[in-house]
Amino acid sequence: MAKNDEVKRGTFPVNGMMCAVCAGVVEKTAGEVEGVTEAAVNFAAMSLTIAWNPKSTDPQIVSQAIAKAGFEMIVEDDEDDAIALQEQQEQTLYRQMRRKVWTAWAITLPLSVVCMSGLTFPGHGWAMMLLSLVVMVVCGGHFYVSGEKNALRLTPNMDTLVALSTIVSFLFSLFNTIFPDYWHSKGLDSALYYEASAMIVAFVLTGKLMETRARHSTGSAIRSLMGLQPKLATQLLDDGTTRVSKLSTLRPGDRIIVAPGDRIAVDGIVDDGHSSVDESMLTGESLPIDKGVRSVVSAGTLNISNPLTVRVQQVGRNTLLGQIIDSVKSAQGSKAPVQRIVDKVSAVFVPIVVGLSVVTFCAWLALGGELSLAVLSAVSVLVIACPCALGLATPTAIMVGIGKGAQHHVMIKDATALEQLAHIDLVAIDKTGTLTEGQPMVTDVMWVEGQQTESLSIIHLLERGSSHPLAKAICNWAEQYDFSPIEITDIDHAAGLGVFATIDSGRHWIGSQAMAEMMHCTVDSTARAYIDASLAAGKGVVLYGCDDRLMAVFALSDRLKDDAKHAVDYLRKENIEVALLTGDNRLTAEVVAEECDINEVEAQMLPAAKRDYIASRRNEGKRVAMIGDGVNDSVALAEADVSIAMGTGSDIAMNAAQVTIIDGRLSRLPFAIRLSRQTIRTIRQNLFWAFLYNVIGIPVAAGLLYPSLGIMLNPMIASAAMAFSSVCVVSNSLRLKYKK
């Protein structure tokens, strides 16, 4: 639970939610607790995400409020313990529900055969009454308890509909059993519908069982990620002994031993040992990485060959894997814009259905229909209506889509980004570190005043504090030589240009040609020819000088990523415009653009210029995605409709972005766009069928086709259709897992 401006945030499992109406009640109840600033329920994940002010409330108080509303919010000190407890309870409930389903069908099938065959025997009505009562009370008792509670709270839900429909059928049949000739004396037909009550319970239970099992599969991605993080670690104590410790007890500075074949439990530094580590779950790199003393290791990665002693830096939710898991959970719990409409419909759905049922009953009697027909129609309306399908349509697809993205190293922060990514018209791409490897090397250097040891010291000093790939390349180059490091803290940065500092009464600087112009530096013809030749060859140039004197020119090259052209080709094939935005010079940018077949190039752009470009294209009506990796891209990322960061870049860029490609492979971009489109298509399909099901099902259940076609929907068929609708929605969402 992260702290931010005295507001804490956490996600907690919630048990007892049966439909979208229940989810709405939990969300509303939590949101009304004083001190809670945000509450969002993920019905598909059976969880509640809240943000709260710890000075005013805490999760225990929220849990108590939710308990009064009839649901259970699980609050544990350790989130993993809470999830484990929920899964344990869900498994117990699943086994209980499975027993109830078998029991219900074992009684309902013989009962239906007797009723439908017209078989009679002395006391057959009372026998059927007892059998249906067993099914209703023993197998479906929770429907009546929950339905009554929610009705009294004026928040009727699916349980209320099931309870009303089965009670009406049962009481009507019971009256006819006690007074078999009452309706005949009034010239009306009567019948027994005990099997309808039992069948409704059996079908609804079966549907819930199938839905629970299918919905559990939608969370498989997050569970697989959580499964990568060990719960225990072998801690190495100061006296040389070891003990098995829970991760929650480990602190930075502690040491753990990781045996071959075990997953590393923490983010840390190797203190002792040498081994190969499989980091594919984080980086996508299939080949193991050699790790020795002072190497950085990450939680969830697999130690392959030899034991390692690791000094702990981060544990649990603070590790890179923990942050990924938190991000996926948060994204899966977020709501797409279309979900707000569904929430509003779900809030009034059940009262409208009850009203339609009453209208149906009265209309049949007013039109001179038989009483039994009126009862059947009213019951069928209650049964066939399904708020569950509506409630599951969006969150199940989002859970599967975002989970699948995480498994393929694409982190999508929220459902809004997932939806917007499907509709982009233009992708603006940064060059260094995005289209290129971001690991340039100094190929050659032109010294204007001759190489000096002092110059090496100053160059290294100026560049070592920068995260820019060109600065790192120059630092690596300088470290090949012997020089005496110097220390100075008064270093200034010119955004997008370079860095400078006053040393020995001179203003030393290093950066782009624009930086040289800002320093009023004179570039002679020899240096100009060298710069032009380097640029024409597609190399980048960095200039170093003191005051207005040019002292050296560095030529650097950066290899194009292997999958860059493939990604650009996909975008062009999908009629998505591509623009290259870079702070580098135009010649270098055009060489890279030509290799990737990019027509639009904007070069020598400062961060503000990138932002202004994106703003102008948005003003033209374009939906723009920006993809970059550096600090200088953060303002442009913030301006875009969809911001995409490379995970190999700066933390600032990743924090500003809605989507992060963890392993930095540009080929993940086409995958992310396809995934977005498939997910949005699935959501639309789910909502279409959920709404269509109710729009068609309710009138048919009301008997709209009876006068013209003689079609009357039996409550048993209605209950089967209702159960089937939810299962169809979840199953359709699960198809996303297998699409390419």
Catalytic residue numbers read 430
Instruction: Determine the distance from the C-alpha atom of residue 685 to the mean position of all C-alpha atoms in its chain, rounded to a whole number.
Output: 20
d(CA 691, CA 385): 10
d(CA 623, CA 576): 10
d(CA 230, CA 246): 9
Provide the CB-side half-sphere exposure for 463 (13 A, CA).
25
φ, ψ of residue 476 in degrees (nearest 5): -60, -40
Strand-pair partners of 444? 555
d(CA 337, CA 371): 45
Residues 6+ apart with CB under 8 A from 643: 625, 626, 637, 656, 657, 658, 659
Residue that the structure tokens 């320093």 belong to? 519
Structure tokens at 92: 């117990």
Closest by alpha carbon to 545, among 470, 473, 484, 455?
455
Q: Is the CA virtual torsion 372, 373, 378, 382 positive or negative?
A: positive
Whether the Cβ atoms of residue 156 and residue 24 lie closer than 8 Å to each other: no
d(CA 541, CA 543): 7
d(CA 256, CA 559): 39
Whether the Cβ atoms of residue 558 and residue 468 lie closer than 8 Å to each other: no
Pairing of strands 624-628, 426-430: parallel
Output the CA angle 467-473-476, nearest 5 degrees: 105
Instruction: Determine the distance from the C-alpha atom of residue 344 to the mean position of all C-alpha atoms in its chain, rounded to a whole number.
Output: 23
Whether the Cβ atoms of residue 251 and residue 261 lie closer than 8 Å to each other: no
Determine the 3-state secondary structure of 442 from DSSP: strand
Please report which helix (H) or strand (E) contains residue 566, including its range: helix 564-573
Structure tokens at 649: 């870049």
Closest by alpha carbon to 438, among 166, 692, 658, 632?
632
Instruction: Determine the distance from the C-alpha atom of residue 508 to the mean position of all C-alpha atoms in its chain, rounded to a whole number.
Output: 48
Q: Which residue type sits at 715?
A: P
φ, ψ of residue 518 in degrees (nearest 5): -65, -35
Provide the CB-side half-sphere exposure for 385 (13 A, CA).
32
Whether the Cβ atoms of residue 704 and residue 395 lie closer than 8 Å to each other: no
Whether the Cβ atoms of residue 637 and residue 650 lie closer than 8 Å to each other: no
Q: Is 622 exposed, middle or buried (CB count within 10 Å of its CB: 0-12, 13-18, 19+)?
A: middle
Determine the 3-state secondary structure of 173 from DSSP: helix
d(CA 149, CA 155): 9
φ, ψ of residue 549 in degrees (nearest 5): -100, 130
Please report which helix (H) or strand (E) contains residue 470, including its range: helix 469-478
Whether the Cβ atoms of residue 669 and residue 451 lie closer than 8 Å to each other: no
